[in-house]
Amino acid sequence: MLYRTQVTQIGEFATESLNENMIIIFNDNAPKDVADYCFIHPDAELNGEILVGGQFLLGAISYPITAVGCVVSHNLDALGHITIRFDGASEAEYPGTVHVNGTCPKALEIGTEIIFTSNH
C-alpha cells in the first residue's frame, strides 16, 4: 500500500467535479477557497511512487491507473492534493492528475477510503 486515507469533509462545490468525471482531493491543510472544491482527508504518508499499472481504490471499487502526471507523487506526499480523472487516458492531462480506468462515482460519502497501491 502506497497511500491510505479517508474523506473527512466534502467541500461545498466538491461534488460538482463528479459530473466532470473527476475528484479533487486535498489534505486538511487546504486553503479555504480551494477546500470548497475538494474532498478533504487527513494528511497521510506516501510510501513510494504512484505509477501506471498501480491501483486506485475508492471505497470498495478498484480502478487501474492509466497515466500519472509528473508531480502527482510529490503533491500527494506534500499536500495530499491531486486530481483523479476517470477517463482511462494514456497520457496525463496536467502534472497533478492521475488518470484511471472506470466509471466515476455519482457521490462520495464522509468515511470513504482513498487508497493507492503499487503494481507489485
Q: Exposure pattern of 3-29 as b/e (b: 16+ CB <10 Å)?
A: bbbbbeebbeebbebbeeebbbbbbee
Query: Is the pTM above the cut of 0.75?
Result: yes
List, for residues 45-78, the tens digit of each pLDDT value: 999 999 999 999 999 999 999 999 999 999 999 9
Instruction: List beta partners, residue 76.
Output: none
Residues involved in catalysis? 41
